[in-house]
Amino acid sequence: MSFEWLRMRIQEEQDRRDRESSTLDRLPLALDELHGLLKQCVTAYGETFGPDSAQISQLMGRIKVTVREQRDEQWQTASKVEVISAPDIPGFRIERGEYSLAVEVGLLPNGKLYYRDREQDVYLTVDDLTRRILDRALFPKLKE
């Protein structure tokens, strides 16, 4: 005996697994793309406040941004933020001190990426995403 509901659920699960697999395959490239976007922001910040005021680096599965202020004629670390690849989400985890945010990454039918704040259950534009990552690190003394 064949059950229509079972056949439909099997197809749904197969589609979900395919999407998840595609997303996991794309996650390293998504981190590279995000690094490029954040690098543009850090470069613009450095052009205004000095080339040593902020640094960005990409290591195995993570992006680190360090912001520095000049105190007593020396550059000292003022804040840090990390974006860590998180296959279990799948997406990124943004960590800044005790603050942590999970951002889900997914693929749209056209192959483009989408970002979703899992805690607030809202989709993020690239502008929203870069702001959530960098705003508090670059401008800790300004109100949100």
User: What is the residue range of 53's domain?
Assistant: 4-138
Q: Cα–Cα distance between 91 and 83 in angstroms, integer?
A: 10
pLDDT over 70 percentage in the chain: 99
| Burial (0-12, 13-18, 19+ Cβ within 10 Å), 135 | middle
Is 144 within a domain? no
Report the predicted TM-score, pTM, of the whole model to 2 decimal places: 0.87
pLDDT tens by residue, 96-111:
988 999 999 998 888 8
Is 38 within a domain? yes
The pLDDT of 126-137, averaged and rounded, is 96
- What are the residues facing 42 on neighbouring strands? none
pLDDT tens by residue, 54-71:
999 999 999 999 999 988
Number of domains the chain contains: 1
Is 143 within a domain? no
The pLDDT value recorded for residue 73 is 86
Segment 53-57 long-range contacts (CB within 8 Å, at least 24 positions apart): 54/138
Is 101 within a domain? yes
In the predicted model, what is the mean pLDDT of the chain?
93
